[in-house]
Structure 1
Amino acid sequence: MSQPPGTATQTKPLKNRYDKTEWAGAFGDLGTLIPFIVGYITVMKMDPLGVLFMFGILLIIAGSYYKTPIPIQPMKAIGGAAITQAAVITPGMVWGSGIFTGLFWLIIGATGALNWISKITTKPVIRGIVLGLGLSFIMEGTRMMKTDFLVAAIAIVITFMLLTNKRIPAMFALLIFGVIVALVKNPGLIQELAGIKFDFRLPQFALGELTWTDFVKGSLILAIPQIPLTLGNAVIAVTAENNRLFPERPVTEKKIAMSQGILNLISPIFGGIPMCHGAGGMAGHVRFGARTGGATVILGCILLVIALCFSSSVLLIFKIFPTSVLGVILFFAGLELAVSARDVGKEKSDYYTLLVTAGFAIWNMGIGFLAGLIMQECLKRKIFKV
């Protein structure tokens, strides 16, 4: 039986588990993962083998190293810009942005700049970033649920009823329900799925196609605008969430930044996309049962098998996950994040800082972080009075 996060002790070292709750939690980040992967494959025409292979390998490494559900997610600003501007963005520019991102966070982490940032960042600012991210996930989940409100409503009820059930994990019921809905709404899908074929391939070295122009354009157009979002979501917020949920296995902003640097230098080698350790992914894994890094190892193994053996059928496999059900998964990940802001403090000024940070963070994580720092300093110096 899984324990609530944060209840383990130092005398009982955290080890990865691979029980049914870890399997359920492994799918808690599909709401973010699948839409971006589908976009990269269908719109950007990137090889699903390289994209999924690198996700699989890096998820396995992250789960084995951290032993907590620290996720590997697509970088949202880069992915969003690349997919919506596919007419002018090339795969080489995506890989170039990944290399720039990797170098940037590796250098920032190594120089100790994040130690200073962590010292000036108070709990209300951190919780504000987490709350803003949670609310943005809720809003995006709701948008995805609009594709079929009835299915989404039933999925929400199923999830709430089974959320704390130890015998039947909510995620399993949700996935089964989603598959049934997909087959009922598209009876021909059964015949399509029967056409899935075993097609073993090994990934190819991708950087031979990368040019200096791709690197420069990818850095300027894709990577630099991503930096504030990564700082707020995938460095500060995920560090705070990991240490709140798993105090027996703490991480630092420096470690997370350098980790993201390393994985983004590795990912483009075989055609992978820019990735991060987003706090929303951790919330999704935890909300649906994950308590160790076993969940990300499981997800990594699944993606690795699909990449190596069924990469030509990836889009067909993903058809069994209705958008409305993926929206519900994202919605509950957002709830998990938003609720964690409840321990912000007792002072009125704490709540003002929290809400100012969250309000701007919904729009832009970096600006939200900056607004929170300014607000806390103005309140501290009595420039603002609330």
Structure 2
Amino acid sequence: MTDTKNNPNGRSEESHPADRGGGGGNRFDRMEWAGAFGDLGTLIPFVVAYVGVAKVDPLGLLFAFGLVMVVCGFYYRTPFPVQPMKAIGAVVATQGAQIAITVPAIFCAALVTGLFWLLLGLTGAVDKVGRLVGRPVLMGIILGLGMSFMLHGVELMATNGYLAAVALIGTVLLLTNRRVPAMLLLLVLGLVYGVVEQPGALDRLASLSIEFRLPDFALSELSRSDLLTGILFLAIPQLPLTFGNAILAIHEENNRLFPDRPVSHKKVAVSTGLMNLFAASVGGVPMCHGAGGMAGHVAFGARTGGAPIILGTILILSGLFLSDSFMSLLQLLPLAILGVILFITGAQLALGSGRLSEKKAERFITLITAAFAIWNVGVAFVVGVLAAWIYRRVGLRL
């Protein structure tokens, strides 16, 4: 599957897309292991917010993420990502107390979004809407998402500039090295630094409790207020963001990198619907497929569905056996290391957005869409589609 030419220093001269594919089965080599952790920069902060702020039980959250990742890895056979829905996660983390968001309301949001995307996928409506969105808008969404990841990565790296500088330089030097995976060394550096810098870290690790638990059915105690909160404050604001990033952009990214394993808008929408219905039933949180997640997996070496299967298996075992101690493990990884992961992921995503159109008006549509996407992908999607419609109907003279 990998078409590389290694020089004496162990570097590979890879050809994207996806090292020219090959259509084989999943792999579980060291590069798949490294790439499996390429999306931690987005996964960990939201998991911490859900568990630490909203008091979601880590068991259902980790189990849902893990099982969905494993299924997606076997089904798509690409590093197809599974991420928290960002708009919902941001509201929970920053406005949860103000809006009085309960844990059942979060499950309701997963249930409602699951039903919505399953309906759009099964009816084929998502394909019709997807065809209305032009390539300049898609390029803008992907470019803006990449820049947004990079900016957020810089913010996290600023929490420890020296550690971030060492980690970033080392990662860049090793990023194309097929013998020494950059991600694995990055994680080792972060964990060692966390143990050294945090008093009592070794004691906390030594006291981790291993206890087997199974998730319970999470939809047995829903109230009308939970349902209204989940729909109005969580599910509805997420819809345009999901369509732009988790339907259109991941479709574009997967088919660009893995043309031998293409996906359709319908397939991604149905997948999004099913995994959220499952998450809601076992105590998970709203999930989606984000283009940035695929960029992160690929940037650190993943080329098959082996990467999400590896990460998913780790999350399943963590949920079933370490759910009561999971926060202690997460707190060991410094924010600066997560920042480096996000920065590299963003660069990979932005570089893959494609070549700008030769038409000035279409370049303008791409750039304004990207600018808004740095701030809010849902708004960027609306602005980009509106600008493209004006261009088609009345023209844009620049």
Fold shared, TM-score > 0.5 on shorter chain: yes
Unpaired runs of at least 5, structure 1:
none
- TM-score, structure 2 normalization: 0.93
- Residue in 2 that maps onto 1:108: 120
SS of 2:212's partner is: coil
Deviations 1:183-230, CA, capped at 9 Å, x for gaps: 221242112111112111111111112223312221111100000110
- Residue in 2 that maps onto 1:377: 389
1:122 aligns with 2:138: no
Give the 3 Å change call, closer, same or farther, for CA 248–210 of structure 1 in structure 2: same
- RMSD of aligned C-alpha atoms? 1.6
- Residue in 2 that maps onto 1:268: 280
Whether contact under 8 Å (1:48, 1:307) holds in the other structure is yes
1:184 aligns with 2:162: no
Deviation at 1:14, TM superposition (A): 2.9
Aligned residue among 224, 227, 248 for 2:239: 227
Deviations 1:150-172, CA, capped at 9 Å, x for gaps: 11111110110100011101101
- Residue in 2 that maps onto 1:78: 88
Aligned residue among 17, 21, 25 for 2:35: 25
Deviations 1:350-371, CA, capped at 9 Å, x for gaps: 3212101111122222221222
1:253 aligns with 2:265: yes
**Matched residue type, 2:31:** T
1:205 aligns with 2:217: yes
Whether contact under 8 Å (1:124, 1:345) holds in the other structure is yes
Give the 3 Å change call, closer, same or farther, for CA 160–80 of structure 1 in structure 2: same
CA distance in structure 1 between the aligned counterparts of 2:379 and 2:92, rounded to whole angstroms: 22
CA distance in structure 2 between the aligned counterparts of 1:114 and 1:54, rounded to whole angstroms: 25
- Residue in 2 that maps onto 1:218: 230
1:59 aligns with 2:69: yes
**Greater shift in the superposed pair: 14-23 or 360-369:** 360-369
**Greater shift in the superposed pair: 339-348 or 136-145:** 339-348
User: 1:319-338 counterparts in 2 under 5 A?
Assistant: 319-338=331-350
1:283 aligns with 2:299: no
1:6 aligns with 2:22: no
CA distance in structure 1 between the aligned counterparts of 2:20 and 2:346, rounded to whole angstroms: 28
CA distance in structure 1 between the aligned counterparts of 2:390 and 2:101, rounded to whole angstroms: 42
CA distance in structure 1 between the aligned counterparts of 2:142 and 2:305, rounded to whole angstroms: 21
- Residue in 2 that maps onto 1:298: 310
1:137 aligns with 2:149: yes
- Residue in 2 that maps onto 1:363: 375
Whether contact under 8 Å (1:14, 1:248) holds in the other structure is no
SS of 2:244's partner is: helix
Whether contact under 8 Å (1:5, 1:291) holds in the other structure is no
Unpaired runs of at least 5, structure 2:
4-14
Deviation at 1:7, TM superposition (A): 5.8
Whether contact under 8 Å (1:6, 1:248) holds in the other structure is no
**Greater shift in the superposed pair: 56-65 or 136-145:** 136-145
CA distance in structure 1 between the aligned counterparts of 2:18 and 2:217, rounded to whole angstroms: 44
Whether contact under 8 Å (1:193, 1:316) holds in the other structure is yes
Whether contact under 8 Å (2:141, 2:377) holds in the other structure is yes
Deviation at 1:253, TM superposition (A): 1.1
Aligned residue among 316, 330, 334 for 2:328: 316
SS of 1:201's partner is: coil
Whether contact under 8 Å (1:43, 1:83) holds in the other structure is yes
**Matched residue type, 1:352:** F
CA distance in structure 1 between the aligned counterparts of 2:16 and 2:310, rounded to whole angstroms: 19
Work out the percentage of aligned pairs sharing the same amino acid. Answer: 49
- TM-score, structure 1 normalization: 0.96
4+ runs of 1 displaced by more than 4 Å?
7-10
**Greater shift in the superposed pair: 287-296 or 146-155:** 146-155
